[in-house]
Chains A and B, each alone.
Chain A
Amino acid sequence: MIEVEALTKLYGDLAAVRDLGFSVAAGEVLGLVGPNGAGKTTTLRSLAGIIMPSAGTVRIAGHDLRRDPIAAKRQLAFISDEPHLFDYLTVGEHLRFVARLYGVTDAEARGTALLDELELADRRDSFPPELSRGMKQKLAIACGLLHAPRALILDEPLTGLDPLGIRRMKATITRRASEGAAVILSSHLLHLVQEVCTRVLVLRRGVAVAEGSIAAIVAERPELAGRSLEDIFIALVGDAAAP
C-alpha cells in the first residue's frame, strides 16, 4: 500500500533522509522511531506530499506521488502532532470542507459516526477557539479519517490527548489497520509503538538502522535479547540518543 524506494531528502549538503526504502502493506502498522533530528518528520512529510524528495520514489496505493500526486493524496491522510484547523469553520463545517476536498458523498453519515467515536458529537457547531487542545486534536483526526484513507500517516498522534483519548486513539489506529489501511506512526512513546505497531523502522541521522518486528530485530542482534524496548532503542541509535 505504501512503497518507498531510495528516498533521499537533501537540504544543501545535509542529508535529512538518505536512501530510505521500506513498504507497509494493508493492515500493517509501522512504527517510525528515532532520536530528535533522525529524519522521522522529514520522511512523513515526504510521504504526505508536503515536501518534494530530492530523490527516490513514493507510491501510495499504487500511485506514484511525484507523477500522480492528486490520485495518491486522495488515498492518504496525514495527521500531525499540531492540529491544523480553521478558526472560522465549525466542527461540522470542517468535515464538510474535507468531504468536498476528497469527494466524500456520504459525509453526513460518516461524519456523525466519527464525531460519535471521538466524542465530539455535541460540539458539532463549535468553533476551534472554543475547543480544548485535545478536542482540536480529535477534530484533526476526524478530518483525516473522514475519507477512509487507505494509507494513514500519523506524526505523534497522541500529543494533547487525555488518558481516555489516548486509549480511544490506539483503538482507532488498530481498527483502521484491521479494516485494511496501511498505517505509519511516528512517536517517541515506545510503549505505544510496542503496543500498536506490527513492525518498527528505526532511523538514525536519516538512515534506517533497523527494520522489522521487535522480535525480528532482536533475533538479528542476539545481544539485545531480554532487554527493554528502551534499551533496544538506545542500543540501535547509539550516541545519537544520548542526552
Chain B
Amino acid sequence: MSVTPALGFLLFRTARNRAVRLAGRVRNPRYALAMLAGLAYLVLIARNSGQGNGGGTSLAPGLREALLALGALLVTIWAWVYSHDARALAFTPAEVTFLFPAPVARRALVRFKLARAQLVVLLNTVIWAVIIDVGRPGMPTWMRAVSVWCILSTLHLHRLGAALTRASLGEHARNARRLAVTALLTAAVVLIGAALVSAAPLLASARGFEQLADAFVAASRLPLPALVLAPFEAVVRPLSVTPSGWPMAMLPALGVLLVHYFWVVRSDAAFEEAAAEASFLRAREIEAKRTGGQVPAGKERYSPALVRLRPDGRPEVAIFWKNIAMVLRRRRARILYATYAVLIVAAAAATDVAPRIAHTVGIAVMTWGGLLVVLGPQWARNDLRTDLANLDLLRSYPVEPDALVRAEAGSAALMATLAQVVLLSIGAVALWDSPEVTLRGHERAVAAASGLVLLPSLNFMGLMIMNGAALLFPAWVRTSRSRAGGVDTLGQNVLTAAAYLLALALALLLPLAIAAGAGYLARPVLGDWSGTAAALVASAVLFYQAWLLSVWLGKAFERIDPSTAGIEAG
C-alpha cells in the first residue's frame, strides 16, 4: 500500500508519537504496574499455548472452523446492518481539514485510511496470536499471527467496503448499479435464509451441547449452509490446518483479502463526501462525549422524560437521574425494550405452539443473559467512563466525591441489572415447559429469588471496578465508541475483560465464603430457600465491599487532575 510521502509522514509520525506518549505514561508507577501485569498475562498464556495445553477448551478442528466461519459471517452481517458503521469511513477533524482540500487523489486517501487501520490491526494481531488457543502443537507463532492478520484485515476491509457501498447506493438514486447491488444483497439474504431453514431441523433435534455441536458441524456441511460459509471458511481455515497444510490454506484466504482490497480501492462511491459525512458524525460523537452526551445517532431524536427530577434532596440523585435519562431517552433503547417485551410474549406463546423452537430460543436468550451477567458492567457505559470527558464540570459540582462515584456506578448497574433480568426472564419463560429443565416449581422460585437479590450487588461491584479503572487509568479509558474499530479491536477488549474478571473474582472471594457458611447454617431451617438466604448474605457483603471501594475511589476522584490525566475524547 503506497501512500504519498506526506501521508506516509503523517502515518509514521502519528504512530511514533503515540508510542512515545505511551512510553511516557508508563513512567507513572501505576501505569507501569498495570502494563507489566498485562504483559505477564500474555506471556503466561503464550507459554501455556506453547506447551500445547492451551489453557482453554480444545475444540475439534471441524467445529472450530465452522464456528470461526459463522463468527466471520455474523461480523459481516453486522457490518451491513448496523447503521453506525459509516464510522469506518471517518477521518479525524484535523485530517479532514488538512487532507480533503489538499491535492491528494481519492485513492491515496483510501490507502491512507487502510494503512492507518493497520496500526490497530497489527496490535490486535499480536494480542490474538497470543491469546487464542489454536490447540495445535507445532504451529509456529508467526503462522498463527499471519492467519489472524489476514482475518482481521479482511473483516476490516469488508466493513469499509460495506460502508462505501451503502454510500454509493445513497448516491446513485435509481440506476442500474443500484439495482444490481440491491439484487445481490437480496440474493445474499435469501441464500442465508434458505441455509438457515435447511439447517434448522438438524439443530432443533439436538439434545445438550455436545449433540448441538455435532449437529452444527453436520448442518454446516449441508449444501446451502456450506455454500454460504465457503468464503468465510476460506478466510479462517489457516487457523485450523496443520503447519504443512498452512501455505495452501493461506492462498484462498489471501485471495479473498485481495478481492476485498480491490473492491474498496476501486469502489465508485463519492469517498470524500461519504467520509466527510462520517467524520462530521464522529466529530459530533466526540463533542457529545466531551460534553457528557451519549453518542448522537445521526438524526436520532430523544424521547420525553420518564421521571421529573425534584429540586430538593440529595444532589447525587441528579447525577443518577441524568445517567438513566442518557440511556432511556434514546429511541434505540426504547426499541430494544419493546423488542424484549415482544420476545417475552412470543416465548410464552411458543412454549405451547412450537416447544422445540421455544427451547432453542430459550437456551440462546439464557446464554446471552448469562454473558451479560458476566460482562454487562463492561458494556453498560452510562457512568464515569462516559462522564470522564466532562471531568471539569463534575469537579465543579457540590457533590461529595464518593457519593458521585456511587451515583455514576449505580446508574449503570441499574441498567445492566434490568437488561439481565429481562433477558433471563425471557429465557425462563421460553424454557418453562421444556422437559430438559429439571428444576421443580419451588426450585425455580429459589433460583429466581437468588438471582434477583444477587444481581444488583454483583453489577454494582462490577461497575465500581470499571469506574475505578477509569479513575486510576484515565488515559486508557475509551470515552467514545468511535474509537472502537470493530472486530479488529476485539483483542484489546479481551485483555480488559480478563483484567475485569480477575478483579471481580477477587472481590467475590469473601462474600462467597461468608455466604457458603450462612447457607450451611440456614439449611436445616430453610431447606432449599437457604440458597436464597446465602445469596442475600453474599449480596449484602458484596454491596458493603463496593461501598468501601466507592469511598476509596472518591478520594481518587478528588486527586485526579483533568489537566494531566491524559483523557482523550474520541
Which A residues touch B318, using CB under 8 A? Answer: 97-98, 100-101
* Binary flags per residue of A79-90, CB closer than 8 Å to B gives 1, else 0: 010011111111
Which A residues touch B310, using CB under 8 A? Answer: 100
* Binary flags per residue of B373-410, CB closer than 8 Å to A gives 1, else 0: 00000000000000000111101111110000000000
**Residue A37 lies at the interface, judged by CB distance under 8 Å to chain B:** no
Which B residues touch A64, using CB under 8 A? Answer: none
**Residue B140 lies at the interface, judged by CB distance under 8 Å to chain A:** no
* Binary flags per residue of B1-29, CB closer than 8 Å to A gives 1, else 0: 00000000000000000000000000000
Interface contact A70-B325, CB-CB below 8 Å: no
B395 CB to nearest chain A CB (Å)? 4
**Residue A238 lies at the interface, judged by CB distance under 8 Å to chain B:** no
Identify which of A43-51, A113-121, A176-184 touches chain B.
A43-51
**Residue B414 lies at the interface, judged by CB distance under 8 Å to chain A:** no
Q: Assess A84 versus B302: contact at CB under 8 Å? Given A50-B562, A73-B398.
A: no
Find B288's partner among A45, A78, A87, A96 (CB 8 Å cutoff): A87
Which A residues touch B284, using CB under 8 A? Answer: 129
Interface contact B395-A87, CB-CB below 8 Å: no
Interface contact B562-A89, CB-CB below 8 Å: no
Interface contact B291-A85, CB-CB below 8 Å: yes
Interface contact B561-A87, CB-CB below 8 Å: no
Q: Assess A52 versus B558: contact at CB under 8 Å? Given A88-B302, A89-B322.
A: yes
Interface contact B559-A52, CB-CB below 8 Å: yes
Interface contact B292-A84, CB-CB below 8 Å: yes
Q: Could you tell me the distance between the alpha carbons of A71 and B392 in the complex, rounded to whole angstroms? A: 18
**Residue B313 lies at the interface, judged by CB distance under 8 Å to chain A:** yes
Which residues, 296 to 346 on B, are CB-close (under 8 Å) to A? 296, 302, 305, 308-313, 315, 317-318, 321-322, 325-326, 329-330
**Residue A102 lies at the interface, judged by CB distance under 8 Å to chain B:** yes
Interface contact A100-B393, CB-CB below 8 Å: no
**Residue B485 lies at the interface, judged by CB distance under 8 Å to chain A:** no
Interface contact B312-A70, CB-CB below 8 Å: no
Which residue of chain B lies nearest to A42 when distances are taken between CB atoms in the complex? B563
**Residue B293 lies at the interface, judged by CB distance under 8 Å to chain A:** yes
B343 CB to nearest chain A CB (Å)? 26
Interface contact B293-A86, CB-CB below 8 Å: yes
Which A residues touch B400, using CB under 8 A? Answer: 70
**Residue A218 lies at the interface, judged by CB distance under 8 Å to chain B:** no
Interface contact B396-A88, CB-CB below 8 Å: no
Which B residues touch A103, using CB under 8 A? Answer: 311-312, 315
Which B residues touch A102, using CB under 8 A? Answer: 315, 398
Q: Could you tell me the distance between the alpha carbons of A76 and B315 in the complex, rounded to whole angstroms? A: 16
Chain A CB within 10 Å, residue with most, of B305, B311, B325, B329: B311
Which A residues touch B311, using CB under 8 A? Answer: 96, 99-100, 103-105, 107
A36 CB to nearest chain B CB (Å)? 15
A95 CB to nearest chain B CB (Å)? 9
Which B residues touch A107, using CB under 8 A? Answer: 311
**Residue A74 lies at the interface, judged by CB distance under 8 Å to chain B:** yes
Q: Assess A100 versus B294: contact at CB under 8 Å? Given A70-B399, A78-B396, A88-B302.
A: no
Which B residues touch A87, using CB under 8 A? Answer: 288, 291-294, 296, 302
Which B residues touch A49, using CB under 8 A? Answer: 395-396
Which A residues touch B395, using CB under 8 A? Answer: 48-51
Q: Could you tell me the distance between the alpha carbons of A88 and B561 in the complex, rounded to whole angstroms? A: 27
* Binary flags per residue of A27-64, CB closer than 8 Å to B gives 1, else 0: 00000000000000010010011111000000000000
B312 CB to nearest chain A CB (Å)? 5
Which residues, 97 to 144 on A, are CB-close (under 8 Å) to B? 97-105, 107, 127-129
Which B residues touch A19, using CB under 8 A? Answer: none
Which B residues touch A74, using CB under 8 A? Answer: 398
A106 CB to nearest chain B CB (Å)? 8
Which residues, 43 to 72 on B, are CB-close (under 8 Å) to A? none
B153 CB to nearest chain A CB (Å)? 35
* Binary flags per residue of A225-243, CB closer than 8 Å to B gives 1, else 0: 0000000000000000000
**Residue A93 lies at the interface, judged by CB distance under 8 Å to chain B:** yes
Which residue of chain B lies nearest to A108 when distances are taken between CB atoms in the complex? B311
B564 CB to nearest chain A CB (Å)? 6
Which residue of chain B lies nearest to A76 when distances are taken between CB atoms in the complex? B396
Interface contact B315-A101, CB-CB below 8 Å: yes
Interface contact A86-B291, CB-CB below 8 Å: yes
Interface contact A11-B564, CB-CB below 8 Å: yes
Interface contact B393-A70, CB-CB below 8 Å: no
Interface contact B397-A101, CB-CB below 8 Å: yes
* Binary flags per residue of B265-309, CB closer than 8 Å to A gives 1, else 0: 000000000000000000010001001111010000010010011
Which B residues touch A83, using CB under 8 A? Answer: 291
Interface contact A70-B398, CB-CB below 8 Å: yes
Q: Could you tell me the distance between the alpha carbons of A63 and B68 in the complex, rounded to whole angstroms? A: 62
Q: Could you tell me the distance between the alpha carbons of A54 and B397 in the complex, rounded to whole angstroms? A: 21
Which B residues touch A105, using CB under 8 A? Answer: 311-312
Interface contact B325-A89, CB-CB below 8 Å: yes
Q: Could you tell me the distance between the alpha carbons of A178 and B420 in the complex, rounded to whole angstroms? A: 55
Find A88's partner among B294, B559, B564 (CB 8 Å cutoff): B294
Which residue of chain B lies nearest to A41 when distances are taken between CB atoms in the complex? B563
Q: Could you tell me the distance between the alpha carbons of A192 and B159 in the complex, rounded to whole angstroms? A: 52
Which A residues touch B561, using CB under 8 A? Answer: 51-52
Q: Could you tell me the distance between the alpha carbons of A104 and B310 in the complex, rounded to whole angstroms? A: 10
Which A residues touch B313, using CB under 8 A? Answer: 100
Interface contact A50-B396, CB-CB below 8 Å: yes
Q: Assess A97 versus B322: contact at CB under 8 Å? Given A49-B396, A84-B393.
A: yes
Which A residues touch B329, using CB under 8 A? Answer: 88
Q: Could you tell me the distance between the alpha carbons of A136 and B177 in the complex, rounded to whole angstroms? A: 44
Interface contact A129-B296, CB-CB below 8 Å: yes
Q: Could you tell me the distance between the alpha carbons of A107 and B308 in the complex, rounded to whole angstroms? A: 13
Interface contact A100-B397, CB-CB below 8 Å: no
Q: Assess A100 versus B309: contact at CB under 8 Å? Given A73-B398, A78-B396.
A: yes
Can you list 12 contacts pairing A with B, beta carbon distance less than 8 Å?
A: A11-B563, A50-B392, A71-B398, A87-B293, A89-B325, A100-B310, A100-B318, A102-B315, A102-B398, A103-B311, A103-B315, A105-B312
Task: Known A-B contacts: A50-B562, A100-B310. Give 18 more (CB < 8 A).
Answer: A50-B391, A50-B395, A50-B396, A51-B395, A52-B561, A73-B396, A73-B398, A86-B322, A88-B302, A88-B329, A93-B305, A93-B309, A98-B318, A100-B317, A103-B312, A103-B315, A104-B311, A128-B291
A-B pairs, 10 with minimum CB distance: A87-B293, A100-B318, A73-B398, A99-B311, A50-B395, A84-B393, A74-B398, A107-B311, A101-B315, A70-B398
Residues on B facing A (Cβ under 8 Å): 284, 288, 291-294, 296, 302, 305, 308-313, 315, 317-318, 321-322, 325-326, 329-330, 390-393, 395-400, 558-559, 561-564
